[in-house]
Amino acid sequence: MNIAVFASGKGTNFQAIAEAVHKGFIKARLSLLVCDTPGAPVVQKAQRAQVPVFIIERKSFSSLKEFESRIIKALRQEKIDLIVLAGFMRILSPAFVAQFKGRMLNIHPSLLPSFKGTRGIQEAFRYGVKVTGVTVHFVDEHVDHGPIILQSPLPLAANETLASLERKIHALEHTLYPQAVKLFTEGKLRIKGRVVRVATQ
């Protein structure tokens, strides 16, 4: 099975998945990094891991359709079976998502459906929740909305700060995301409507 990771920034979740593949925890090939930000730290991480890098900027294309068509071409060339969104700071169109329905995962730093969007950690903290966490889900045509695969709760400490919460959430992501990718590569995820069941066999 061939995996492509989409990322735009630091690439810590990319690193966690690359290490899980390297150690054999995920028995698949990390075949491609798709990055829309030249010079992003994730590119260096991919190069060190000897993962091919495909850099593509939206501004180089006259339309979103052309931009996504070029990405799709690269994915087909690498025979990609699974897309893993790991801090890819661009919303993909419903047409793109439809082509990879049931084969695209995303991670979000809250217990969805609460605190959707790009500031999930900050919003949960400022709201004063006692428990937040991390969600891995299939991607559908809506933002932070697809069927949930795994969730892991994280109680907030009495002396929690935003900085300490961010560190804990990211550490939790680095554990949970490889677990979800492993389940997918082993063929253990079954989607029925908005419910994902994990096969035991």
Active site residues: 108
Sheet with 189-192, edge to edge strand ranges: 53-55, 29-35, 2-7, 82-85, 104-108, 131-138, 148-155, 195-198, 189-192
Q: How far apart are CA 85 and CA 67, in angstroms?
A: 17
Measured at the CA of 97, the angle between CA 52 and CA 60, to 5 degrees, comes to: 55
79 Rama class: left (phi>0) / alpha (psi -120 to 50) / beta: left
